[in-house]
Amino acid sequence: MNQIKVLWKKIDFCSLRLRLTIGIAIVSALGNGGIAIWMSWRMQQILVDSHKSHVEQIAARLPYDVKLYSEMMQLETGLQKAINNLTNTNSFLWVQKLNRQIIAKSTKWHSLSDSTVAELMAKTEMPIKPEVYKIGQRYFILYSGSLQVEGKLIGKLFIVQDITSEQIMFLAMIQTLWIASILVIIVITAVIAYYVRRSLQPLRQLNQMTEVISAKDLAQAQLHLDNAPSEVKELAQTFNMLLSRLSQSWEQERQFVSNVSHELRTPLTIVHGYLQSVLRRQNNLTEIQIEALETAASEAEQTISLLEDLLDLARADSGYLHFQIESCILNDLVAEVVGMANKYSERTIQIEDKACFVKAKVDYNRLKQVLLNLIDNAIKYSQPDTSIILKLNQQGNQATIQLCDRGYGIPLQHQSRIFERFYRVDEARNHATGGSGLGLSIVKTLVEGMGGSVTVHSKLGEGSVFTVILPI
Ligand code: ADP
C-alpha cells in the first residue's frame, strides 16, 4: 500500500510524457472500441437478416401449401398439415384469428418447454421488430404477418426461429473480438508510452546538460545532441547562442568588477597611508579631528579589504588566481594564525591537535587567509565570553581543520547560501559587525582552489562548526 502511495506521488500529472501517452491511448481506445462496437452491431444485423429472409421464405410458401391441401381436404386440416410440413427443429409456426384464437400451430416442436412457448406467444401481443429475443437461455427471431389464401384473409401468421446455437457462436466471437480489442489497446498504450519516452529523451538530455552548467564553465558550455529531432536540435542551438551571449556579458561584468576594484584600490591605499601618517604625527590635532581621521582611516581600510576580496574573486573567476601548493605542517600554520588573531582580538582561541602532526598540500598564505576569515567571523558572531576552538585532525588521506564557536548560529535555511557572494543572514546585526558578505565566498573559492572543500554545521543559539577539508 505504501509502495503504491510512493509510486502515485512520483507520477507527474503535468508531464508532457503522461499527457501525450494518455491522450493517444484514449484516442486509440475510442478508435478500437468504436470499431469493435460497429463490428458487433453489423454482425448481429447480418445474423438477423439471414434468418429474417429464411423466415420470410417460409411465410411466402405457407399460402401455396395451404391452397394445395385445401383442394384435397378442409381448409383448417390443410392449414395444420401445411404448418406441420414447414415446421422443423428450429422453426415454430402458428396462425391465429384476429380475436387471438389459435387456428393451427406446429405440433412437432418438442425441444421447447411449454413455458417458453407461452412466453414467445405472449411476446407476439406487442408489435414485433426484426431482432433477437432472449427467453430463458435461448435466442429467437420472431416474425408476424397476415396469411391470405387466394385473396381471403385466414388470420395472422407467426413464425419463431430458434437461433440459439448461432447466437451463442456469435456471442463467443464478440467476446473474442472485445478481448482482442482490449489487448490491442493495452499493447498500443505500452508502445506509445515507450515511443513518447524515447521521443522526449533528447529534451531530458538537454535539461540534464543545462542543469550542470555553472557560471564558471559558461564559456566552454555547448549543447550537442546527435540523434535528436530537428526541433530539439534547433532549441539546443538557440540555447548555445544564449549561453555564448551570457558568457560574454558575464565576462564583461567580471572585467568591470576587476577593473573598478583595481582602479579604486590604489588611490584608496594612498589615502589610507596619508591618514595613518597624519594620525601618527597628531601633536597639534584636536580630539574631534583625531576621531574623524580615525573613522576615515578605518573606513578606508575596510573598503581596501573589500576591494581586495573582489579582486581575488574576479581573479579566481577568470582562472588567474594562482596557488603555491606545498606540503605544510598544519599545526604550525594554525598556531601562527591564532597568534595573529590574538593581536587584534582579546578572545582566547584554543587549539586541539591531539599532539600529532597533521600535514597537507596547501598554499600556506591562502590557508592562513581562510582561517583568519573564519576566526574573524567566529569572533564577530558570538558573545565575547564564549570560547572558540580550532580542531586539527587527519582522516584517511584528508586533513580537517574545524573552527567551533558557541555563537548565535545560522538558521538552517541560510546555511546553504552563506557561501554565496554578498549573502548575509541578519542584515541588522551584521551591519553592526561590519563586513560585506564576501568573506565566506572567498573562503570557499580559496579552499576549492587548493583541492579541498568547506562545510558548515550550525544550530541557532548554540553555535557553528566550519570544517575545512584538505588533501594530504
Ligand atoms: P560577513 O562579511 O557578513 O561576515 P561572510 O561571507 O563572512 O560575510 O559571512 C556571511 C554570513 O554568514 C554572515 O553575514 C553571517 O550572518 C553568517 N556567518 C558567518 N560565520 C558565522 C558564524 N561563525 N556564526 C554565525 N553566523 C555566521
pLDDT in tens, 202-260: 888 888 888 888 877 787 888 888 778 888 889 989 999 998 999 899 889 888 988 99
Dist. CA 415 → ligand 1 center (Å): 10
CATH class belonging to 230-318: mainly alpha
In the chain, CATH 1.10.287.130 sits at: 230-318
- Report the chain's terminal Cα–Cα distance, integer Å: 50
Instruction: Report pLDDT for 429.
Output: 61
Identify the residue whose C-alpha is closest to ligand 1 atom 7.
439
Residue owning grid cell 427467453: 135
Maximum average pLDDT range among 99-103, 130-134, 175-179, 221-225: 175-179
Does residue 110 carry a pLDDT above 60? no
- What would the pLDDT profile of 259-294 be if each residue is shown by its tens digit? 999 899 999 999 999 999 998 887 788 889 999 999
- 105 strand-pairing partners: 94
Nearest atom in ligand 1 to 409's CA:
25
Helix H, strand E, coil C: the string for the chain is CHHHHHHHHHCCCCCHHHHHHHHHHHHHHHHHHHHHHHHHHHHHHHHHHHHHHHHHHHHHHHHHHHHHHHHHCCHHHHHHHHHHHHCCCCEEEEEECCCCCEEEECCCCCCCCHHHHHHHHHHCCCCCCCCEEEECCEEEEEEEEEEEECCEEEEEEEEEEECHHHHHHHHHHHHHHHHHHHHHHHHHHHHHHHHHHHHHHHHHHHHHHHHCCCCCCCCCCCCCCCCCCHHHHHHHHHHHHHHHHHHHHHHHHHHHHHHHHHHHHHHHHHHHHHHHHHHHCCCCCCHHHHHHHHHHHHHHHHHHHHHHHHHHHHHHHCCCCCCCEEEEEHHHHHHHHHHHHHHHCCCCEEEECCCCCCEEEEEHHHHHHHHHHHHHHHHHCCCCCCCEEEEEEEECCEEEEEEEECCCCCCHHHHCCCCCCCCCCCHHHHHHHCCCCCHHHHHHHHHHHCCCEEEEEEECCCEEEEEEEEEC
Q: How far apart are CA 272 and CA 280, in angstroms?
A: 12
Portion of the chain with pLDDT greater than 70, in percent: 96
Dist. CA 236 → ligand 1 center (Å): 40
CATH of 16-172, picked from 1.10.287.610, 3.40.50.1820, 3.30.450.20, 3.40.50.1980, is 3.30.450.20
User: CA-CA distances (angstroms) from residue 248 to 206, 222, 239, 241, 267?
Assistant: 22, 14, 14, 11, 29
Identify the residue whose C-alpha is closest to ligand 1 atom 18.
377
Dist. CA 347 → ligand 1 center (Å): 18
Q: Grid coordinates representing 364?
A: 600556506
Ligand 1 pocket, residue 421 CB under 6 Å:
no
Q: Grid coordinates representing 166?
A: 448461432
Instruction: Report pLDDT for 307.
Output: 92
Q: Grid coordinates representing 392?
A: 586539527
Ligand 1 pocket, residue 206 CB under 6 Å:
no
Which of 100, 135, 99, 97 minimizes the C-alpha distance to 117? Answer: 135
Q: How far apart are CA 367 and CA 399, in angstroms?
A: 13
Instruction: Report pLDDT for 430.
Output: 61
Under 8 Å between Cβ of 384 and 347 = yes
Question: Is residue 71 exposed (0-12), middle (13-18) or buried (19+ Cβ within 10 Å)?
Answer: exposed
Residue 74, Ramachandran bin (φ over 0: left; ψ between -120 and 50: alpha; else beta):
beta
Ligand 1 pocket, residue 437 CB under 6 Å:
yes
Ligand 1 pocket, residue 155 CB under 6 Å:
no
Which of 52, 87, 64, 212 minimizes the C-alpha distance to 148? Answer: 64
Flag whether the pTM goes above 0.75.
Answer: no
Nearest atom in ligand 1 to 441's CA:
6
Instruction: Report pLDDT for 431.
Output: 62
Dist. CA 464 → ligand 1 center (Å): 10
Q: How far apart are CA 458 and CA 439, in angstroms?
A: 17
Nearest atom in ligand 1 to 424's CA:
14
Nearest atom in ligand 1 to 463's CA:
24
Instruction: Report pLDDT for 60.
Output: 87
Which of 374, 468, 462, 455 minimizes the C-alpha distance to 410? Answer: 462
- 389 strand-pairing partners: 350, 404
Under 8 Å between Cβ of 276 and 297 = yes
Dist. CA 437 → ligand 1 center (Å): 7
Dist. CA 462 → ligand 1 center (Å): 15
Identify the residue whose C-alpha is closest to ligand 1 atom 13.
424
Dist. CA 215 → ligand 1 center (Å): 23
Instruction: Report pLDDT for 161.
Output: 85
Ligand 1 pocket, residue 439 CB under 6 Å:
yes
Which of 99, 98, 64 minimizes the C-alpha distance to 82? Answer: 64
In the chain, CATH 3.30.565.10 sits at: 325-471
In the chain, CATH 3.30.450.20 sits at: 16-172
In CATH, 325-471 is 3.30.565.10: yes
Dist. CA 265 → ligand 1 center (Å): 24
Under 8 Å between Cβ of 389 and 349 = yes
Of 6-20, 201-215, 244-258, 427-441, minimum mean pLDDT range: 427-441
Ligand 1 pocket, residue 407 CB under 6 Å:
yes
Q: For the chain, give the number of residues.
A: 472
Instruction: Report pLDDT for 301.
Output: 92
Under 8 Å between Cβ of 470 and 449 = no
Top mutation candidate among 312, 423, 424, 464 for ligand 1, by most atoms within 8 Å of CB: 424
Instruction: Report pLDDT for 348.
Output: 86
